[in-house]
Amino acid sequence: MRHLRLAGVTASILSRSAWSERAEAHRRRAEHWTLPHLARRARGDKHPVDDFLWEYYDLGPGRLARWHPGLGVALADAPEYAALGSYVVHHGAVSVDPARVHRRRPGLEWTRELLLRTAERPMHRGCFGLHEWAMVYRDRDLRHPQLKLRLGSAGTDQVVESHRLSCTHVDAFRFFTVAATPRNDRPLGRADQLAIEQPGCLHATMDLYKAAYRLLPFVDATIVLDTFELALDVRRVDMRASPYDVRPLDLEPIAIETADGKAEYLDHQDRFARRAAPLRQRLIDLHDQVLSVDAPR
């Protein structure tokens, strides 16, 4: 196999047949999720559960479906990649431009620190997904008007008032209603995130997807699909445990206001934490690899 060296990074060169096979496999895998979303969008339909990953996170279907080889791999006969702004052509082969790493270094360093601290922190159990309940507490302007509240407005408020709110995720807390905000164990702001994010949080697990796609194009895009699929599974449980009646979406609610529902939620929380742990470690390792690229002189 031929190699090239660019800005201190040695890359092996893949033939067009080799890299296009990988790119096509990635596209087919992604289309299992992108095509239903695109079909709904064409019809003007919205899915209040699955569309969250497209609306909240800033990676569109086309970008999810595009395979990137990452640093250390160059592509022969790849004009479609040469046309992308983050790639350079060197001796006839196309590769990610390592010089671009330095532009993203501060954000990547912060994300690596967040991943590392989260991995090292003990898991917090017992929030029971009440963040979604806190987002509608004493507020009749529902975030998902397509769905009804399973217990009605008064019943939903009563669940919030009879439980302790112990959310540890900054980006969930910022959507709490004004009435719910002071009920949380502590106020949360962006400056608190490094100190409190923990591996039992379903939203912290979903955010592994964001940490993965923000590494693009410097890493093999397979990690993005791996984290996307985990995030979608988490999102479905997150909404099953929410105050919304998700049965019209063929999802069975998790009644977290009951003992059985709490036990089911804890079981999912444990399972997701175990699935997330190796992905979080992979992301830490990938950040280390990317950040090891020398700044241009």
Average pLDDT over residues 207-213: 98
The answer to whether 38 and 73 have CB atoms below 8 angstroms apart is no
Which has more pLDDT, 5 or 243? Answer: 243
Give the start-to-end residue ranges of the domains of the chain.
Answer: 3-291
Cα angle for residues 145, 46, 269 (degrees, 5° grid): 80
pLDDT tens sequence across 80-93? 999 998 999 988 89
pLDDT tens sequence across 113-164? 999 999 999 999 989 999 999 999 998 777 788 899 999 999 999 999 999 9
Average pLDDT over residues 53-64: 95
The answer to whether 169 and 91 have CB atoms below 8 angstroms apart is no
The two beta strands, 3-6 and 87-90, are unpaired
**Sign of the alpha-carbon torsion through 186, 258, 161, 246:** positive
CA distance 163 to 191: 26
Who's near 264: CB < 8 A, 6+ residues apart? Answer: 254
Nearest to 134 by CA among 197, 82, 182, 73: 182
CA distance 213 to 228: 9
CA distance 197 to 178: 22
Q: What does the pLDDT read at residue 182?
A: 97
Give residue 295's Cα distance to chain centre: 28
